[in-house]
Structure 1
């Protein structure tokens, strides 16, 4: 503690700097006094002594890392402290201090600007003027400290009239302008930085230079000795043995100078310089220019040795102490807008800001000093924390560069999209002037130049060590561009995908087209500027857009998870390049949820009919097209593969939720209802065994349907929701697979072949267990699944969404449900199975796919029983028609047969699966009689 105090006090020898020299002690004393409040209350003499020593010219102090305290406010409740502070807070003293610092800051600023002129700070000037330069730095830093602390908004309570008056008085007397104060801080930091770098360089070369000058001076003296020996005579130089011996002695004396004993060497060097001046004067050597030149050179080398010996580490330590900016750790933020405006006007300002940031890094010394002295293992973590905070602030300030770039970029996009006409491949020469469009093209060139200037500005900053974190300006620029891109793209996606559910027709396609144009503008502009700012535009675009979409999908899927993935856990979220979160506008959390729910709303099976052959949805009442597979092409154009893949993942979660709800409903309305259970038991007894023909089948089946009629409404809704989402998943898979084959045919072929090879290996393993099989800890199967789904090389209908337990009566319930829906449908030669009445809607494809998906979640024996029940129903009904000599095939049988056909088609199973339950001649004949 004492050692630190001595260094600090010695760094500020002038009386007017005493309060700054004792600032750290004053901060500690301020805290300690609260542990002895009686001094603050009653010990007037002690408080007067404390104020006279520590606070005669300052009343706003920084106690730790920029935490400021106004003593006029803090000591208001304490009588002795308040009384002692009255002299300091007297308006005449306030006016005197403000005027003094205004004068000092003007004088120092002029000096610093003079020093910063190109070529002014040379090595000789620095070495000859160390005290003057240090005085300038002291005055500048003390003035900056006083001005920043006493004009800070955080240090003055606006409701306290006295404090407000004091501050107004200061601002008036200072003629305060925050821009001028900030400029003083910038220039002082730049001056300090240059001086430190010069001193570090000189210190590193100190011994080598000293030895070089010593050698050169000694050699000059040896040569002069030879001149007077007569062996190597110069013109008109007579032999002089005394001078010869004297110069040889001087040469030896120079060689004997010891670098390690700098004090003795310095004294001796001064004596040697005096001796050389005297020998020139007393021996009338001025007449010979060559001899004079040798003597002058030697004196110059000796002078350089004295200068070099004066380069001491103490100067650097002093500069480090007086350059402390820890008091501004928080106050500096009030100058952020001024910094950013300065950069916007003049991008090269970043070089001066670099010096300011490095000066601010000196604040790290304060919290680390005692930790380092105690050899604590926390040194690294604390350094990391404060360095990280400072780097974050640097990023915040420099973010203005990407923001300004993007402002210019938006103008370029507008010009390229709306104003500049693309030049055709063939052009009549008389129309050349029309296509030249010199005005808009000049504007684009001007804006492009502005962007490249901003880039140059940040790259001038050079790689800088801020605390213990190395800041690479190229990486800083790229991160800034990514951050601005993420902010703008995320906002465009949020704003562009908000739908009005009452709008007719739906706003979906127009909004996707509009958003697609916006995204294309961003994409094209990124391609355009990537060479001017030296970044990989396409790589950044793909990485950031995929991150935004994946993050939003993850947040949307949180609705379906018991354990939510928080922001800090998300692999897609970043501290430096955060993805913004927007307030939800409806039940969805993000734009991907709104998009998904809007698609589900307009393709609702209660309102629309899906025609499988056309991949199109039509309105049941108006028969107008609602949407088609073009919808997914538009989503692909707008959100890319990531968007379609994210939509597919969200639909998966929704299907899981629907299936879970279905199981709960099944438990509630079937397994807990005795009437329904009795009906199912009676039906099972009547139809057993399943391979037989049911006598009086119509009565048995329709009696069971009538008794269970009340449960089918909720059942139908759940099944059709699942089926609807499966259709959408199939469409997404088709679009993904098409675009993958078109854009990345080699990737598509490689994935397909690898998938087939893996399936062949697994199949071979089950036929012969001795063959190799992927181990449990092998992640290949898991990883390839993600690639296959992204490339659309998968069948959503084969996916197991939930784990299930055995459910009694499950096959017969689904069978009853199916035949209960058949009367609502009719066969159309052109369209297949369609709804009889729009008022009682049932859409066939979602019904079939929903049932198929549901059965897929259970053991295959349930599916076998279900198909056997349908086959028995078809055979029994046809047998009854034949026995009653009814020539037409009943509509319900046609529906059941079509279900079996569609089941075989969707599952890609061989037809014999269905023919095991229904004779093949019925399949062959039923379409001919329709």
Structure 2
């Protein structure tokens, strides 16, 4: 409900002492409404899913539960759905059940209290006494009206069918059909008549979710009635009195309906509890004339409103009374009156905003309050009545606005400027209050100095052309001076009277002929007048102005407009980042939306305060962050133009500069452009700082954490887009060069933003960079696994038909294709692969460039993907070797072992035994050569990656690398225990982490890594030796290259890859 102003706070102590029961009721019903809103926001999607219709029942279940249960029992599918529903929605249904129980208990206890109050069972407390006490009357009205609001909100936010299904489901799952309040809870949940359909006179709008429109609300509310005498007494009090004392804040009679809007909202709800007032023409004409003669949109709780033109459509006398004041012509005239003021207000606000300072606020306090009051009055009418559900009325309001060129953008500007002026006036007024004693004494000292100067002039001590002697005037001034000296700030009443007497005396003195003719003396007297008036104004400074501002600036009724204006605000910020400097003033204008529903809960010191304030704070913060969501994109986009060093076109320093080239070298245009963009970033930083500093007492925004999170998100999007772009087309090396420039520029931007926004930009960049690369590698891992399942030779797939969709997939395919043993040669001395013409295909230069682009993280990700390919190739090769040794070959190999003799001796039969076995296996090598060469190829690639990782980590993180080396060495001493599995879970986890760090630092030898754990093929080493013997005749020694090469170009695999398969035996761990 709308906050009534300071009167609630000022009366909190008295209310809590004299009427603790009523205060407790108000706190409880506000807590119930907060729980209702929370639950309505988090309704389980399962209850709207048609798949669950078979296990969700309405109140027809209570008439014949056996029939419904028989449908579910024995049906496996339905029982599975029930289990899923119970598991996923059980806690929600329990909270909803507790809400219903709390609501019916509240109504029962409040009715008992009201009955006891009528019967006079409370000492010194009767119904008349409560109604006569202003604070108690407020509590009584709220305790009844807010409960009615809760029922209306429940019908509006949670449909009757959903309520019935939730209650029945909870009763079935918890088996609590004998719960004491169950009958009343069913009455609360029972479906009401359908919501009011949109007729020709009404239409849907974007505000429909926040406008309560219920058909026959009196039937709904009378399910839980209040004692009729109490209802009549409270309605009479609301009709005739000023319950919240708000009229004093609105002296203009035209603002009367706004002053009474809070109790008007309560009155709207309580009228449905009365039997006949809505049908009595005279009573309704009085009510409409006092509360609704110029407005028909009535907020009843926070931003939830009702449209009287629609809501009272079914009540003849009420509708006639309303239409008599709000005919189409009246609506047009009222709308025109408000819309024509907008342009004037915008210009007036600009003047006040630019002139506002302490002196201005002190001199123009009343006029500033008047401007703020008028702006808020017009703003309130326009924003509320643009939401109207009645189509004719809405068309009238919008058409008048269009004729006056007032649209959503204009209303937003009025809201922004009004909020800005309010914020400045409140801040400056608070500062004046804090320092008013010092200001008063300063003005007093200035006035005394002016009097002293004038007195000296009359004595002739001045060497001025205007000097003359007048003993009487001298005595008067000295007397005035002594009176001012005697003034004391603590005696405000006597001070005021004395100052007024001094001012009267000064006016009499100024009437003298000699004074009138002297410009200099008249100026001195005007200074005295100014200081004395400022002293009076300073004495008049009090908290009343703050109280007035807190009431007249309330805007929680327009909370829904924050969503509507979100797009416009983002557009304004994108076009002019200086908008962020005062963005906090807009949200501060809505702070009553956060504080109003907690007012009674705070006064009552309820234990529910924390959880309820957390709910409202989260909603408030979500609105703020929704608008600020555009800032990360602006920051990164703007910072693009603030690079200190252009990576792609570096500026070379020269020893001597020609005068003609100086202007070009200074790059003034570029520097000016960069300075402007840097200024934009500073403005955004200032705006975020204002947001953070002004919301500390309201919401814990944690803007630093949020900014870090959203910058990471935006940075990740840009990085993913860049990686995807590079993986789709172009030469790999040129793409890597482009990526390298992009990475350096991004890092520079983050370092620059670190200084501007006071965030850890380097850390944000490293974390985002690492996360994006790891996610890219995971995606490629999934695609690689799918590829390995489809094909026995994944590397061949990479070479031929595989179309990678990720950066790492494209990179891996590029490496595999360039290092293909059939088309390239690895030269160890040159550490790279070369083609037949001697051109380098891939070498350390490529890996250096790759490390510059993706760092150690990228290299480690690439190494893990190569590891997967090697493991897959080893598994397929081992399968081939298993199938190679059939029964016949097994017998031949056994005989060969017998012929060769013991392993440590010279073979008895010499070369002939090997030669014979090579011939036997010659036809079997076939595809095995290609598979073994692929393993060697990938091992060489992984060796280079490991070398680059190790060297890079040694340079960039030597301390960490040394620490990992020491840990790895110490763990190697316990290798046996690890292999036996004797260690516990913690030690195994520690060993796994150290192994990951070891791989990341490149502290491993790929040739010693075990890829699979299974029984090796029989005679594995013998088969590998025979394989090598069979392949050696194909190669000759090239003394220039220091390597074996094939004289038959293109027909034989690279020897470096083939020869490396001798280590294949170490890739398999026997189990």
Judge same fold: TM > 0.5, yes or no.
Answer: yes
Cα distance in 1 for partners of 2:636, 2:709 equals 12
Cα distance in 1 for partners of 2:641, 2:568 equals 21
Question: Which protein has greater RCO, CA pairs closer than 8 Å, 6+ apart?
Answer: 2
Q: What's the counterpart of residue 1005 of structure 2?
A: 795
Mapping for residues 560-575 of structure 1, pairs under 5 Å: none
Identify the match of residue 852 of structure 2 among 619, 627, 637: 637
Cα distance in 2 for partners of 1:366, 1:335 equals 23
Q: What's the counterpart of residue 575 of structure 1?
A: none
For the 8 Å contact 1:610–1:845, the answer to whether it is kept is yes
**Residue 855, structure 1, aligned to residue 1054, structure 2:** no
Cα distance in 2 for partners of 1:838, 1:38 equals 105
How much does 1:116 deviate?
Answer: 2.0
Identify the match of residue 438 of structure 1 among 664, 678, 681: 664
Identify the match of residue 684 of structure 2 among 435, 438, 458: 458
**Residue 553, structure 1, aligned to residue 760, structure 2:** no
Cα distance in 1 for partners of 2:263, 2:619 equals 23
Cα distance in 1 for partners of 2:759, 2:358 equals 47
Query: CA-to-partner distance for each residue in 1:703-723, whole Å, 9 max, x for gaps?
Result: 99699x69x95x877766654
Cα distance in 2 for partners of 1:40, 1:248 equals 67
Alpha-carbon spacing, 1:311–1:592, altered in 2? closer, same or farther (3 Å): farther
For the 8 Å contact 1:402–1:480, the answer to whether it is kept is no
**Residue 829, structure 1, aligned to residue 1036, structure 2:** yes
Q: What's the counterpart of residue 467 of structure 1?
A: 695
How much does 1:192 deviate?
Answer: 0.8
Mapping for residues 722-871 of structure 1, pairs under 5 Å: 723-739=936-952, 744=956, 747-748=957-958, 750=959, 754=963, 757-758=966-967, 789-800=999-1010, 804=1013, 807-808=1014-1015, 810=1017, 812=1019, 816=1023, 819=1026, 823=1030, 826-830=1033-1037, 845-846=1056-1057, 852=1063, 855-856=1066-1067, 858=1069
Identify the match of residue 618 of structure 2 among 380, 385, 400: 385
How much does 1:201 deviate?
Answer: 1.0
Q: What's the counterpart of residue 175 of structure 1?
A: 405
How much does 1:198 deviate?
Answer: 1.1
Alpha-carbon spacing, 1:236–1:630, altered in 2? closer, same or farther (3 Å): closer
Q: What's the counterpart of residue 339 of structure 2?
A: 102
Query: CA-to-partner distance for each residue in 1:364-422, whole Å, 9 max, x for gaps?
Result: 33465466453423266446634642552453354465255246459x988x856x874
**Match of 1:648, SS?**
helix
Cα distance in 2 for partners of 1:218, 1:86 equals 64
How much does 1:101 deviate?
Answer: 1.5
Cα distance in 1 for partners of 2:292, 2:300 equals 14
Mapping for residues 330-729 of structure 1, pairs under 5 Å: 331-332=561-562, 334-335=564-565, 338-339=568-569, 342=572, 347-361=577-591, 363-366=593-596, 368-369=598-599, 372-373=602-603, 374-375=606-607, 376-378=609-611, 381-382=614-615, 385-386=618-619, 388-393=621-626, 395-399=628-632, 401-402=634-635, 405-406=638-639, 408-409=641-642, 417=648, 422=652, 424-425=654-655, 433=660, 435-436=661-662, 438=664, 441-461=667-687, 462-464=689-691, 465-468=693-696, 486-499=716-729, 507=730, 510-517=731-738, 519-520=740-741, 523=744, 534=755, 540=761, 543-544=764-765, 547-557=768-778, 590-604=806-820, 610-617=826-833, 626-652=841-867, 687=897, 691=903, 723-729=936-942
The more displaced of 88-97 and 196-205 is 88-97
**Residue 144, structure 1, aligned to residue 399, structure 2:** no
For the 8 Å contact 1:413–1:521, the answer to whether it is kept is no
How much does 1:311 deviate?
Answer: 2.8
For the 8 Å contact 1:187–1:352, the answer to whether it is kept is no
Query: CA-to-partner distance for each residue in 1:269-303, whole Å, 9 max, x for gaps?
Result: 554456657888999999999x9999999998886
Unaligned runs of 5+ in 2: 9-137, 139-243, 452-468, 516-520, 786-800, 977-982
For the 8 Å contact 2:594–2:616, the answer to whether it is kept is yes
Q: What's the counterpart of residue 16 of structure 2?
A: none
For the 8 Å contact 1:463–1:472, the answer to whether it is kept is no
Cα distance in 2 for partners of 1:48, 1:590 equals 73
Cα distance in 2 for partners of 1:284, 1:167 equals 56
**Match of 2:670, SS?**
helix
Identify the match of residue 370 of structure 2 among 135, 141, 144: 135
How much does 1:88 deviate?
Answer: 8.3
Unaligned runs of 5+ in 1: 222-234, 260-264, 500-506, 565-584, 768-772, 863-930
Cα distance in 2 for partners of 1:181, 1:526 equals 41
Alpha-carbon spacing, 1:549–1:11, altered in 2? closer, same or farther (3 Å): same
**Match of 2:1069, SS?**
coil
Query: CA-to-partner distance for each residue in 1:472-493, whole Å, 9 max, x for gaps?
Result: 9999999887776554444222
For the 8 Å contact 1:557–1:653, the answer to whether it is kept is no
Cα distance in 2 for partners of 1:624, 1:283 equals 107
For the 8 Å contact 2:736–2:849, the answer to whether it is kept is no
How much does 1:494 deviate?
Answer: 2.1
How much does 1:520 deviate?
Answer: 1.7
How much does 1:109 deviate?
Answer: 2.5
Cα distance in 1 for partners of 2:600, 2:435 equals 32
Query: CA-to-partner distance for each residue in 1:629-649, whole Å, 9 max, x for gaps?
Result: 433233223334443233234
**Residue 321, structure 1, aligned to residue 551, structure 2:** yes
TM-score, with normalisation over the residues of structure 1? 0.64
For the 8 Å contact 1:723–1:846, the answer to whether it is kept is yes
Q: What's the counterpart of residue 205 of structure 1?
A: 435
Alpha-carbon spacing, 1:485–1:288, altered in 2? closer, same or farther (3 Å): same
The more displaced of 331-340 and 523-532 is 523-532
Cα distance in 1 for partners of 2:524, 2:586 equals 46
Cα distance in 1 for partners of 2:298, 2:732 equals 57
How much does 1:787 deviate?
Answer: 6.3
Across the aligned residues of Structure 1 and Structure 2, the Cα RMSD in angstroms comes to 6.4
Alpha-carbon spacing, 1:515–1:320, altered in 2? closer, same or farther (3 Å): farther
How much does 1:195 deviate?
Answer: 0.5
Cα distance in 2 for partners of 1:588, 1:67 equals 54
For the 8 Å contact 1:526–1:538, the answer to whether it is kept is no
Cα distance in 2 for partners of 1:363, 1:426 equals 66
For the 8 Å contact 1:720–1:847, the answer to whether it is kept is yes
For the 8 Å contact 2:719–2:772, the answer to whether it is kept is no
Q: What's the counterpart of residue 29 of structure 2?
A: none
The more displaced of 364-373 and 62-71 is 62-71
How much does 1:849 deviate?
Answer: 5.3
The more displaced of 375-384 and 96-105 is 375-384
Cα distance in 2 for partners of 1:58, 1:837 equals 97
Cα distance in 1 for partners of 2:541, 2:549 equals 13
For the 8 Å contact 1:276–1:295, the answer to whether it is kept is no
How much does 1:674 deviate?
Answer: 14
Cα distance in 1 for partners of 2:938, 2:275 equals 76
TM-score, with normalisation over the residues of structure 2? 0.57
Cα distance in 1 for partners of 2:545, 2:583 equals 24
For the 8 Å contact 1:326–1:362, the answer to whether it is kept is yes
Cα distance in 2 for partners of 1:717, 1:67 equals 75
For the 8 Å contact 1:137–1:188, the answer to whether it is kept is yes
Query: CA-to-partner distance for each residue in 1:245-270, whole Å, 9 max, x for gaps?
Result: 99999988x65x866xxxxx54x555
Query: CA-to-partner distance for each residue in 1:858-899, whole Å, 9 max, x for gaps?
Result: 15xx8xxxxxxxxxxxxxxxxxxxxxxxxxxxxxxxxxxxxx
